Amino acid sequence: MEGTIRCVVLAGVLVGCHSDDTAVPDGEVVENGLFVDWSSQPSTWPSDLGDAVTLERARFAVDSLRVIGDAGPGDPRTTKVTFEVRWDDSSQPSDVVFSEAPPGLYSQVSIVFDGHLADDSFEIRGHVFVNGNDWEYRIEDQNPLGFTIPIDMMLSPGGSATVRVRVDFIHALDAIDFSTLRIDDGHLELEAIDTQMPSFRQKLVESFVLVDN
């Protein structure tokens, strides 16, 4: 079956074209290949982060995830498109599995979040105690966000390798002054129009880190 061919354009730059034929059927156990494993800091949801801030939910609309090897940056065998990464009290993201990844040295993970205006590219929610009141906060952005994570991963022929990516939400949320957020429909809101969003986006990118195996 032919997969859908898609191109990602970010800030006017062509990121790459790829197909979505790399998906592994649900329930199939794959032991060999290249894996991307997700984790978070904090590791439990919901979680008390201190300073009267709790974290309850995070969701990312992944437009593309590519593990880039020296053999070629646009290999569809190490590309997955259009899926969701979510953390909450009942959800943890599944591993991304590339069962047909070619052997060789891999040097980058490229990620693009993009809800294509139909959905937020990412959203984070929780509660915070500000000025004597308990508020729900919502961080929502419809703009695309793309970045790369450097790695140094060797996949041997017939073997397996795991890229472990951790999202440090504590680091990301540390950029926010909750006391100055807008009140919108009974909750605190941080969106693209707000002056704090550029610094938060930068902190969020910094929060995607490689964890040693």
Average pLDDT over residues 54-58: 98
Average pLDDT over residues 129-157: 96
In sign, the C-alpha dihedral spanning 10, 12, 13, 15 is positive
Average pLDDT over residues 20-28: 49
* Cα separation, 12 vs 9, whole angstroms: 6
Q: Which residue has the tokens 């065998």?
A: 77
* Cα separation, 68 vs 179, whole angstroms: 41
Residue 213's pLDDT band (cuts 50, 70, 90): low
207 has a pLDDT exceeding 50: yes
* Cα separation, 81 vs 96, whole angstroms: 11
Q: What are the residue boundaries of the structural domains of the chain, listed by start?
A: 43-211
**Contact between residue 37 and residue 85 where contact means Cβ atoms under 8 Å apart:** no
More confident residue, 213 or 89: 89
Q: What is the pTM of this model?
A: 0.84
Q: What is the CA radius of gyration of the chain?
A: 18
